[in-house]
Amino acid sequence: MKNKIWLLTLLSVVTACSEKIVYLTGPTTTKTDTVVVTAGMQTVSLRVDWNRLRQTTTSNFTDGMAYAISDSGLNITHVGSRLVYVKNNAVFTQSVVKDTGSTSLITLQVPATDTAHLYVVAVYESNGIRKALKLGVKQNIRILSNVPINLTLDSLTLIDTDWSVTDTTVTITNDTIRVNANSTSLNKIVNIRVTDPYQVNQNPAHSNAIVKFYGSGFGFGNTDGWRKFGIDVRNKSTNTTVDTFWPYIDGGMFNLNGDYLIGKQGVIKTTWQ
């Protein structure tokens, strides 16, 4: 069955959101951006040291926030890159897969520019399972017509993917988010945040966002490296309801195959009373 995106109208109290409610039924594949380039090409390369990549770990949760849910124990199999030309509305992508060698090289042939941002995602993909594990950014790269750019993973700031619940009115038991809601309400919003170093201080439309989620809810923007979402739990006139959501990285934006899930699936059990 072909996947669809449904736009719904929220019928209750949330009015300060930046994007209409989004409902996704399952994974989708987004095509890589197509860019027409001109003469005067230059080389931007990123050397991927697979051993070094496994050792590079940075914890995101420095503020004591509870309810963190993240991945561990998976080996990185692919690295995707996305070079964004800020002033030219252009994007270049390439990816590499781990083989028997200890290093791989991403090489982009691009025109000169005075401002480019390099976004990198490291993922696990095997037997139909796709998980996003690490995200990297190097901003404000100046690309001259006669100077090749040679980068390594140490050139980037790498962080682990994570999402957490930021709603202090809920509890978590056995990986299930438990919510109490008024039975006369049409819905309840549960607030979460997802690692997003790519589009800070940007609020892109759903189709242009790198960090997204499966489920029903709102996008609230990103001011500090965290993409905020409000998960919409609907009152179905029963005593309890169970809803799910799952943040993910749009792999098509990095020349990767499909979408890559972040952490565990979120499960919300709501008691309407």
Reduce the DSSP state of residue 249 to 3 states and report it. strand
Q: What is the CATH number of the domain that holds 210?
A: 2.60.40
Q: Which two tokens stand for residue 170?
A: 């809920």
31 part of a folded domain: no
The reply to whether 62 falls in a domain is yes
- 54 and 12 share one domain: no
In the prediction, which pLDDT does 63 show? 37
Indicate whether 137 belongs to any domain.
yes
pLDDT at 156: 87
Is there a single domain that holds both residue 89 and residue 113? Answer: yes
251 shares its domain with 198 = yes
Please give the tally of structural domains in the chain.
2
Please identify, among 159, 182, 205, the residue that sits at the C-terminal boundary of a domain: 159
Q: Is residue 33 part of a domain?
A: no
246-273 b/e (C-beta count within 10 Å ≥ 16 → b): bbbbbbbbbbbebbbbbbeebbbebebe
Instruction: Point out the domain boundary residue: 98, 126, 159.
Output: 159
36 domain-assigned: no
Res 175: pLDDT: 82
One domain for residues 207 and 250:
yes
Report the pLDDT value the prediction gives residue 112, as an integer from 0 to 100: 92
Question: What domain range is 201 assigned to?
Answer: 5-25+161-272
In a domain, 109, yes or no: yes
- pTM > 0.75: yes or no: yes
- pLDDT tens for the 273 residues of the chain, in order: 433 333 333 333 333 333 433 433 333 333 334 344 444 688 999 999 998 776 544 444 443 333 444 566 788 999 999 999 998 889 999 999 998 889 999 999 999 999 999 999 999 999 889 999 999 999 999 999 888 999 998 888 889 998 999 998 899 887 899 999 999 999 999 999 999 999 999 989 888 999 999 999 999 999 999 999 999 999 998 999 999 999 999 999 999 989 999 988 999 999 999
Q: What is the pLDDT of residue 149?
A: 93
Going by the DSSP 8-state scheme, the letter that residue 64 receives in this structure is -
Do 273 and 180 contact (CB within 8 A), yes or no? yes
Residue 245 lies in a domain: yes
124 Cβ partners below 8 Å, 6+ apart?
74, 75, 76, 77, 78, 130, 131, 133
Residue 31 CA to residue 109 CA, distance in Å, equals 19
In this structure, are 52 and 153 located in the same domain?
yes
Whether 152 and 215 map to the same domain: the answer is: no
**Would 35 be classed as within a structural domain?**
no
- 204 with 119, same domain? no
What is the distance between the alpha carbons of residues 264 and 175, in angstroms, rounded to a whole number?
9
Contact (CB, 8 A) for 149 and 141: yes
Task: Single out the residue in 159, 183, 217 at which a domain terminates.
Answer: 159
Look at residue 73 in the predicted model and tell me its pLDDT: 73
